[in-house]
Amino acid sequence: MLTKKIGLREILKGSLKFLSMKFERSLFSMHLEVTRRCNARCSFCNYWKEGSSTKELDDYSPIIGKFKPLSLTITGGEPLLRQDLEEIIKRITRVSSFIYINCISNGILMTPDRAISLWNAGLTQISISLDFLDDRHDEQRGVKGLWERIKRIAKDLPKRGIDNLAFNTVIMRENLKDLPQIVEFAKTHGWKVSFSTYNPYKNQNFSHRLEPGEIQKIEATVEKLIELKRLYRNITNSNFYLKMIPSYVKNGGVKGCLAGKKWFHVSPDGRIRRCSEKEFLGDWREVVLKQIPGTRCIECWYACRGEAEAPLNLSRISELIR
Ligand code: SF4
Ligand code: SF4
């Protein structure tokens, strides 16, 4: 079971919403950046250098009410820097007949009490970023002691009754050989893992990028992950997404991006972008989903992009709800 929170009634509501989404060609998922402020210092992102210059809305529920996504990912910046995050989540659930809400945190401010408070406010999944199982994670994220903190969180949160927890792991050159151990670590503590391929376009840091020269290593790692996924059932990515990683690296991109069609990105001030890397399309009140033009961009193979393109066949549906 995905989480005890989603019972048969919710599955039925979600299925009806999915069908109406297919029929009306409405949004599959939305990424909501509730702040660009961040307390980490990641080497591959410049958000933390921006300070608090971007306006933040108090209430995003009118945006959810307009676009009615099936699934919502709350991101940042670091979302837990918003003291009113619980209120934001509650308002969103009030305008939604069914919505799957995942919140991705870097873990610095995550405590069992805050996690419970967010869970009770209406989260369906809590995700923590984790790229290495040692101090390299601290170096990568620029936060001393972060790995030790995440180790504690990994043990403590399941004990508090939160049953849908995941690590978000960026696949980069330096951690290829660590990925199977991350899956094992997650399995030991009852967590899932969601992988996303590194992209250098946030701040032009190409040093972590997967390179075609290492394709054999990349292919072997992907094969191993697919095997672990079958064994442990704790990898959330579709096989479609994982299998496409080597071809993304070899070809320097993947065609067919549906950003702006099946999903899009909302900035803290309510402006909409196709994805976090692309230009603003306008304020949420002005943007009409069916009028957003398609894109030929092939630059990234982020999971948010790839999973929206994964065929929704029976085996994928059973993976998603089990
Ligand atoms: S990648 Fe995420 S955690 Fe790291 S600085 Fe950027 S917003 Fe913060
Ligand atoms: S491929 Fe799509 S999601 Fe990726 S950067 Fe380009 S427009 Fe954004």
We report the CATH number of the domain holding residue 275 as: 3.20.20.70
Cα end-to-end span (Å), the chain: 4
Q: What is the pLDDT of residue 49?
A: 86
Residue 260 Cα to ligand 2 midpoint, Å, equals 9
Q: Residue of the nearest CA to atom 7 in ligand 2?
A: 297
Lining residues, ligand 2, CB within 6 Å: 257, 259, 274-275, 277-278, 295, 297-300, 302, 305
Q: How many domains does the chain have?
A: 1
pLDDT of residue 313: 66
Residue 153, in any domain of the structure: yes
- Which of 262, 278, 279 for mutating ligand 2's site (highest number of atoms within 8 Å of CB)? 278
Closest CA to 14 of 93, 104, 99, 121: 99
Q: Is 47 in the pocket of ligand 1 (CB under 6 A)?
A: yes
Q: Which residue's entry shows tokens 């193979």?
A: 301
Other Cβ atoms within 10 Å of 73 Cβ, number: 23
Scan for tokens 């070899």, then name that residue. Answer: 250
Split the chain (322 residues) into runs of 10 and give each run's mean pLDDT.
69 65 73 96 90 88 95 96 98 93 98 97 97 97 97 96 96 97 98 96 88 96 98 95 97 94 95 94 95 93 91 67 58
| 3-state SS, residue 315 | helix
Residue 247 lies in a domain: yes
Strands 125-129 vs 100-105: parallel, antiparallel or unpaired: parallel
Instruction: Give 22-26 contacts, CB < 8 A, sequence gap 24+.
Output: 25/289, 25/290, 26/67, 26/68, 26/69, 26/289
Instruction: Give the pLDDT of residue 244.
Output: 97
Of residues 164, 154, 202, 190, the one with CA closest to residue 71: 164
Q: Is 224 helix (H, G, I), strand (E, B) or coil?
A: helix
Predicted pLDDT at 27: 83
Ligand 2 midpoint to CA 46 (Å): 18
Domain for residue 183, yes or no? yes
Task: Tell me which amino acid residue 174 is.
Answer: E
* Contacts for 118 with CB less than 8 Å, ≥ 6 apart: 85, 86, 89, 103, 126
Q: Is the CB of 183 under 6 A from ligand 1?
A: no
| Closest ligand to residue 107's CA | 1
| Ligand 2 centroid distance, CA of 291 (Å) | 18
The pLDDT of residue 51 is 73
- Helix (H) / strand (E) containing 320: helix 314-321
Query: Considering the domain boundaries, does residue 161 fall inside one?
Result: yes
Helices (H) and strands (E) in the chain, counts: 11, 9
Note the maximum CA span of the chain: 50
pLDDT of residue 181: 98
297: CA distance to ligand 2 center in Å?
Answer: 6
Q: Give the number of other Cβ atoms within 10 Å of residue 233's Cβ.
A: 12
- CA Rg value for the chain: 18
Is residue 3 situated within a structural domain? Answer: no
In a domain, 265, yes or no: yes
State whether the beta carbon of 309 lies less than 6 angstroms from ligand 1.
no
Q: Is 1 within the bounds of a domain? A: no
Phi (first) and psi of residue 103, to 5 degrees: -120, 125
Q: How far is the CA of 68 from the centre of ligand 1 (A)?
A: 27
Residues near 144 by beta carbon (within 8 Å), at least 6 away in sequence: 138
Specify if 256 maps to a domain: yes
Report the amino acid identity of residue 230.
R
Domain around 174: 8-321
